[in-house]
Amino acid sequence: MAQTTVEPGATKPRPALGVVGLVGAGAAIAALVAAALTVLVNGPGVPVPGLDGPGELATVALPAVRALAEVAMVLTIGALLLAAFLVPPQRSGYLDVAGYRALRAGWMVAALWAAAAAMMVPLSVADALGRPLGDVLDAGLLAQVVPRLSTATAWTLTALVALVIVAACRTILTWGWTVVGFGVSLLGLLPVALTGHSATGGAHDLATDSLVLHVLAASLWVGGLVAVVALAAHRSADRIGALATAVPRYSRLALVCWLVLAVSGAVNALVRVGPAQVLTTAYGALVVGKTLALLGLGVLGLLHRRRTVERAARGEPSALVRLGAVEILLMLATIGLAVALGRSAPPATASAPPSRTEVLIGYDLTAPPTFLRLALDWRIDLIFGTAAVVLAVVYLAGVRRLRRRGDAWPMGRTIGWLSGCVALLVATSSGIGRYGSAMFSVHMAEHMILSMLVPILLVLGAPVTLALRALPPAGRTNPPGPREWLLAAVHSPPARVLTNPLVALPLFVGSYYALYFSDLFAAALPQHWAHLVMNLHFVLTGLLFFWPLIGVDPAPRRYPPAARLGILFASVPFHAFFGVALMSSSTVIGGEFYRALALPWVPDPLRDQQLGGGLAWASGELPLLLVVIVLLVQWSRQDERSARRDDRRAEADGGAELAAYNAMLQRLAAKPTPDAAGQVSVGSREEGRSVDEDRPSRDGTSPRSP
């Protein structure tokens, strides 16, 4: 793999001008489509008595600027995706030319993203307050209103993330930090996905989850294609080598993104518009438009696979650039269409207005939880439920690859991993997940499964070891791939710090106290996205805590069994005390939310909380017991292994080590020891006897008794 050095201060890498023009035209089309369709579908806006309305400027500018912000967002994410995972870095860990160039182009689009997102703040305020834009361009008013308006807050956060990415793209030179930058840029798409239509009203949990997956897939797909086409269109010498890696990798990603877009788009659409209304409403028509766009883009993708991908990977990118240009224009126009869809009021799907429970948690609960309802009343969590299924399928594919190669893989590990996936699915998507959003006691059961049971079972599955054995190593000639990325992640400084018990233990148990005994939990309760973040936190802190303790995989540090047992026992009192504190508390945590829900079978939220405390106390101890058993088994196995190793070594070197040890003992025994007067006297035969003579032989019998 040819290495080209990037000299800091070298001539500025210039993006291919044709692509700049193309993307500029595409962004203009996106803005135009968004504004035109929004006005076409919604008209100048429904007049509200006593409110002037945001006025034409804001009505047209808002969808146009939103489309520009989303186009700049996908381009930024695409540039970082290419630099981090589509083109290889140098062996030194520094970015190579193609990656460096993508990053340098990235800061410019990130700056556009930041500017457009910042403009969306006053536009969202004008829209929400129904006031002309000029009226809200007042710092005092914005300072007051923005923190109270979720869309304005979301855009402020997006602008801040985009600014961080601008700085990152201007300064980063290494692969490791590029990956971090890519991760941060993905955070930037969340505010858009977590506010707007999807976050309120009936089924907002399904709408929010599907939109997060939808916007993520759209960003990687559209942004990735623009970055690959920009690389292919660049006239520099390094592009051929980089294309050989980037094009096949992007092609695989594109297929997954297409599928995720289709499914998540359909789910999101069906939450908003009934099948009968698809052809009879304006909202439905926009959905049909998007579906046609996706099908058209699918056909172009197929053509790429048939005609351009191989040629581009072989160093003939012109066909890919031509077809890619058409595809990019269609994709950006579809983003415009998507913004108009997001700005259009969905038709009323239900005859009756949503119930109070439905408004607060996104769906209705009509009866108290029984064992049967908790077991059978499922509501799939599109994020964690999907993750559980994908994790199980990918793991089984890895085991199958090993088996096909004739390599064994312990069944116990597979059972551990699959049970962990099932526990994740059950905790988030069965009746536990359904009632967990509305009842503290059920939420605590969900919390305990996610932070204790799921991580314990998953780390026993040894996923890293399986991946390292199933994934092909890049070797010296190929660019680093998933296997090398995984190794880099496991041995990265953040992994070392986060798995250090001095960090993992407070994160694991301390966060219970921080979440429930502060206002955090009460603030999180009404927000579906906050439930997603909480669940993710529970699983991750559990993994970071249990991995170094009982994980089979190589961890950044390995502690002796006794130390691991100590760390585990150190967590027990915090756990127990947490449960007791909840049981004995006299204030209802999240009282306002639970009282607003007013579930008929929870007349006294405090009682339900105390039940939750009892569950935390009891259910916390069980998994810990499991960990103690696993640790003791691992400890004894480790002893056996080292005993076997010693035996093998003794057999191999004829017991040289033992002989050396005995010789040392004899030398010690032979050394004259000075008496009280400092006089030295020669020792007796008894004292010189060797260790071996005492240690019972393997068959337990002692060789020589006096």
Q: Which residues pair with 680 in a beta bridge?
A: 674
For the bound state, the minimum distance from the C-beta of residue 214 to ligand HEM, rounded and expressed in Å, comes to 5
Residue closer to ligand HEM (CB basis): 243 or 269:
269
The encoded tokens of residue 345 equal: 């009021």
Q: Which of residues 342-381 bind ligand HEM (CB under 6 A)?
A: 342
Contact between 300 and 212 (Cβ < 8 Å): no
**Choices 194-202, 395-403, 477-485, 658-666 (CB under 6 A): range interacting with ligand HEM:** 194-202
Distance in angstroms (rounded) separating the CA atoms of residues 240 and 318: 12
Q: In sequence order, which residues have a C-beta less than 8 Å from that of residue 162 and are 6 or more positions away?
A: 72, 73, 76, 110, 111, 113, 114, 117, 188
Q: Which of residues 272-331 bind ligand HEM (CB under 6 A)?
A: 272, 287, 290-291, 293-294, 297, 331
Out of 214, 239, 249, 564, point to the residue binding ligand HEM (CB under 6 A).
214
CB 324 → ligand HEM: shortest distance, Å? 14
CB of 127 to ligand HEM, least distance (A): 13
**Does 162 contact ligand HEM by CB under 6 A?**
no
Find the Cα–Cα–Cα–Cα dihedral 604, 606, 607, 611, rounded to 10°: 140
| Cβ(68)–Cβ(104) below 8 Å | no
Closest distance of CB 226 from ligand HEM, Å: 11
Mark the segment that binds ligand HEM (CB under 6 A) among 150-158, 321-329, 332-340, 635-643: 332-340
Residue 37 found at the interface with ligand HEM (CB under 6 A): no
Of the two residues 283 and 508, which places its CB atom closer to ligand HEM in the complex? Answer: 283
Nearest 5°: phi and psi at 589?
A: -75, 125
Residue nearest to ligand HEM (CB): 265
Instruction: Tell me which residue of 614, 417, 454, 437 sits closest to 536, measured CA to CA.
Output: 454
Spatial separation of the C-alpha atoms in residues 429 and 378, rounded to whole Å:
6
CA distance linking residue 257 with residue 221, whole number of Å = 6
550, 556, 559, 564 alpha-carbon torsion, rounded to 10° = -40
- Structure tokens belonging to residue 214: 């939808």
Q: Which stretch binds ligand HEM (CB under 6 A): 77-85, 168-176, 210-218, 451-459?
A: 210-218
Note whether 228 and 247 are within 8 A (CB): yes
197 contacts ligand HEM (rule: CB under 6 A): yes
* Collapsed DSSP state (helix, strand, coil) of residue 365: coil
Decide whether 33 or 335 has the Cβ nearer to ligand HEM: 335
- The answer to whether 57 and 133 are in contact (CB under 8 A) is yes
End-to-end CA separation in angstroms for the chain? 72
> Nearest approach, Cβ of 263 to ligand HEM (angstroms)?
9
Report, in Å, the least distance between residue 135 CB and ligand HEM. 24
Task: Work out how close the CB of 391 gets to ligand HEM at its nearest, in angstroms, rounded to a whole number.
Answer: 26
Residue type at position 546: F
* Min CB(269)–ligand HEM separation in Å: 4
C-alpha closest to that of 484 among 1, 88, 9, 138? 88
For ligand HEM, give the closer residue by CB, 117 or 339. 339
Q: In b/e form, how buried is each residue of 576-590, taking b as 16+ CB within 10 angstroms?
A: bebbebbbeeeebbb
Q: Does 120 bind ligand HEM (CB under 6 A)?
A: no
Binding status of residue 150 toward ligand HEM by CB under 6 A: no
The pair of three-digit structure tokens given for residue 317, joined into one six-digit string: 């990118």
Closest to ligand HEM by CB, 285 or 650: 285
For the chain, how are helix, strand and coil distributed in percent, rounded to 5? 75, 0, 25
Binding to ligand HEM, residues 222-281 (CB under 6 A): 222, 261-262, 265-266, 268-269, 272
Residue 435: helix, strand or coil by DSSP? helix
DSSP class of 515: H
Residue 88 makes contact with ligand HEM by CB under 6 A? no
Binding to ligand HEM by residue 335, rule CB under 6 A? yes
Contacts of 399 (CB under 8 A, 6+ apart): 409, 414, 466, 470
**Region from 8-16, 189-197, 352-360, 545-553 binding ligand HEM, contact rule CB under 6 A:** 189-197
Decide the pairing of beta strands 673-674 and 680-681: antiparallel
Restricted to residues 590-619, the positions that interact with ligand HEM (CB under 6 A) are: none
Do residues 66 and 159 lie in contact, with contact meaning Cβ atoms separated by under 8 Å?
Answer: no
Using the rule CB under 6 A, is 206 a contact of ligand HEM? no
Question: Does 218 sit near ligand HEM (CB under 6 A)?
Answer: yes
- Axis crossing angle, helix 282-303 with helix 239-272, rounded to the nearest 10: 150
Q: How far is the CB of 196 from ligand HEM (least distance, A)?
A: 5
Q: Which is nearer to ligand HEM, 336 or 620 (CB)?
A: 336
* Cβ partners under 8 Å of residue 597, min gap 6: 356, 357, 360, 361, 438
604: tokens are: 């006294």
Kindly state the smallest distance separating residue 291's Cβ from ligand HEM, in Å.
Answer: 4
Closer residue to ligand HEM (CB): 266 or 387: 266
Please count the residues of the chain: 706
Chosen residue from 106, 196, 433, 479 binding ligand HEM by CB under 6 A: 196
Nearer to ligand HEM, 262 or 507 (CB): 262
Candidates 117, 339, 445, 454: give the one binding ligand HEM (CB under 6 A).
Answer: 339
The amino acid at 520: L
Which CB sits closer to ligand HEM, 335 or 567? 335
Measured from the CB atom, the residue of 213 and 456 that comes closer to ligand HEM is: 213
Between 197 and 564, whose beta carbon lies closer to ligand HEM?
197
Instruction: Candidates 198, 251, 308, 609: give the one binding ligand HEM (CB under 6 A).
Output: 198
Closest CA to 29 of 58, 68, 84, 59: 68
Please identify, using beta-carbon distances, which residue of 349 and 419 lies nearer to ligand HEM.
Answer: 349
Say which residue the tokens 């007013």 belong to: 598
The smaller minimum CB distance to ligand HEM, of residues 230 and 498, is found at 230
Q: Shortest Cβ distance from residue 221 to ligand HEM (Å)?
A: 7
Q: Which is nearer to ligand HEM, 266 or 474 (CB)?
A: 266
Choose between 211 and 550: whose C-beta lies nearer to ligand HEM: 211
Counting contacts by CB under 6 A, is residue 78 touching ligand HEM?
no
Query: Going residue by residue from 44 to 73, which x/- string records binding to ligand HEM, judged by CB under 6 A?
Result: ----------------------x---x---
Smallest gap from Cβ 54 to ligand HEM, in A, equals 17
Nearest alpha-carbon partner for 184 in 196, 195, 172: 172
Tell me if 124 sits within 8 A of 203, measured CB to CB: no
- Nearest-angstrom CA–CA distance, 490 and 543: 13
Q: Which is nearer to ligand HEM, 58 or 243 (CB)?
A: 58
Instruction: For the CB of residue 276, give the shortest distance to ligand HEM in the complex, in Å.
Output: 16
Q: Under the criterion CB under 6 A, does residue 414 sit at the interface with ligand HEM?
A: no
Q: How many residues bind ligand HEM (CB under 6 A)?
A: 31
465 sits near ligand HEM (criterion: CB under 6 A): no
For residues 78 and 99, give the distance between their C-alpha atoms in angstroms, rounded to a whole number.
Answer: 11
Contact positions toward ligand HEM, by CB under 6 A? 66, 70, 192, 196-198, 211, 214-215, 218, 222, 261-262, 265-266, 268-269, 272, 287, 290-291, 293-294, 297, 331, 334-335, 338-339, 341-342
